Chains A and B, each alone.
Chain A
Amino acid sequence: MRSIAKWLVLLVIAGLATACSAGGGATDGPVVVRLMTHDSFDVSAELIATFEAETGIQVEIFKAGDGGEMLNKAILAKDAPLADVLFGVDNTFLSRALDNDIFLPYQSPLLGDVSDALELDSQYRVSPVDFGDICLNYDVAWFEEEGVPPPDSLGDLVDPTYAGLTVIENAATSTPGLGFLLVTIEAFGEDGYLDYWQQLAANDVLVVDGWEQAYYSHFTAASDGDRPIVVSYATSPVAEVYFAEETPVTAPTAAVLTDGTCFRQIEFIGILKGTAVEEQARLLVDFLLDKAFQEDIPLKMFVFPANETAQLPEIFRMYGHAADAPAQMAPERIAANRETWIQDWTNIVLR
């Protein structure tokens, strides 16, 4: 026992020592800018390499869960910020971020190329970087085979023809779910939306917790499920073509883009308060708003670039259209009512 114990003690001490030294070492290398973002973030390696070569800055990317999770972590750790730049806080969470005062203002010269409609903070604490439309998607083949016309409006979903066909995400736990709830509030008003949901529940709508489950466990076009209608993004059909196992002639899924049925989700970047490298962080923000990165966005994250000078790839022009008249809601209004709406919605749909 004694020598075994000795051995174990040495092992563990060695382990801890390594842990400490690995963590404690501050180096004199290039300036590091830490980018905190959500799980869906992606970028071409080459772009980052070019940026690093040109500026001498080293970019460290830290993925911190989904959008809400990421923001919450940023707020929790605001005394010792986890990063220098935050990428991906969206308009449904924007007010929470601004209320907690985690950003430093920065007006990038590149904002000139960004549509004014996307700029929601007049103090430039955050800058819009991309946007996507949350909307209904359906399985094209399923509706063709069944001889049923695909849904075209919110009203269709409560039609008995479409009973048991729709899967949506929990508004309390998922951004698409919340976006769709906001669409219904815009469409039916604060007095009417709960009636609509009551009918929807009666028409056997399925609510699941997250987009992954909705899409990959229940949506007929992507899983062994039995729901041909799902709440997803306007760009999902592009991804379906792009990531098809054999490239199809037409997209297997389609998005419903009729007026007022989509919710426009805008994602922002901002420099986190407490950063020691504000100067370099600004360079990174410029880079993220610049054309090269903006043109990389569509095929990496399947959302639309905020920079209007950015060219969309061919496949987007064919399959991925943004909604003409999406529902939009002021972040302040979302922040003020979010909990009440979600609570009321939960009571109607889930209990």
Chain B
Amino acid sequence: MPIAFLEVDRIGKSYDATVYAVRDVDLSLERGEILCLLGPSGSGKTTLLRLIAGLEQPDRGTITFEGRDVTATPPHERGFGMMFQDFALFPHRNVGENVGFGLRMQGLAAGDIAGRVAEMLALVELDGLEAREISQLSGGEQQRVALARALAPGPRLLLLDEPLGALDRALRERLMLDLRTILKRVDMTAIYVTHDQTEAFAVGDRVAVMNAGEIVQIGTPQAIYERPATPFVARFLGFRNLISGMISDDGTVKTLIGYFLPEGPIPPVGEEVTLLIKPVMARVEVPPDLLPSDVNSINGVVDTVTFRGRFSQIWVLSRGERLLFDAPGDPRLHPGDEVRIPLLPDQLQIYESSLQ
């Protein structure tokens, strides 16, 4: 079995005796891969990143990089690059000096540094701005200088801590794609921390979702979106429709709003479960017949409709539960319309109710 590029083995860190920031996390990373650590604030993603960087010391566990144990190696000897949320650009140095800082630390000749700095600024499309003062840069420019600075010394691994967190939404949308393009162009291996799932999905080859100091799910964006491993992940990805239920005698999931039969194995009869209904609304039947709903269909009343262009968001009230669906285009529904929504087994997923 080939040795992983970066191997994090049962690493743990706590700031005081009772609260774990990172709880025995395992993680491995392939060369050239971009991994996003996704989670709400306080989930331990930044601490994990700082442990890998060496800015924090773990209480236990090891970090192996290219087969070498670097757990005790100080950050400046690890050869990793890092981008900070506030960019941490040095205000007492200009753009060129900032980008060239790491190269100077490596002891490169002035001429070589200048060449490499120019190259890096070209990469982030800030050609010729070497002499600019940091205070004269816009937020987006600062972000790109920070990236150029982190990349300039040619790190083996780049760590990014919410690198777009300080920017406004529109800028973020554009820069997250630029960022991935640049990272891929230089074939960089990277770990990217964010609390924004859109960002994680857009940038990462794989995404690790963290909660309470643990990685609860890791996989490609598609896999995670397809099958969120826990209700927490589902909620965090923006799925709203989580309903509690119980396995009935016929093996269906019995809930307040009807009976459902999802794909895959079903827990034993009598088990309490949480049902996730993904918001895909391929079809709406109007007006619904007055029969009780079948298995895998919901009867309800349209509450609100929000037109979003290529799709519309529809809130449906069904026996006190508010459910959110996405319908393609304009479904021509109005508040008060009675609807019947048929669901496919693959848009249903069940969790044991002990799972958070």
Direct A/B contact, Cβ within 8 angstroms: no
Binding site for B on A (CB under 8 A): none
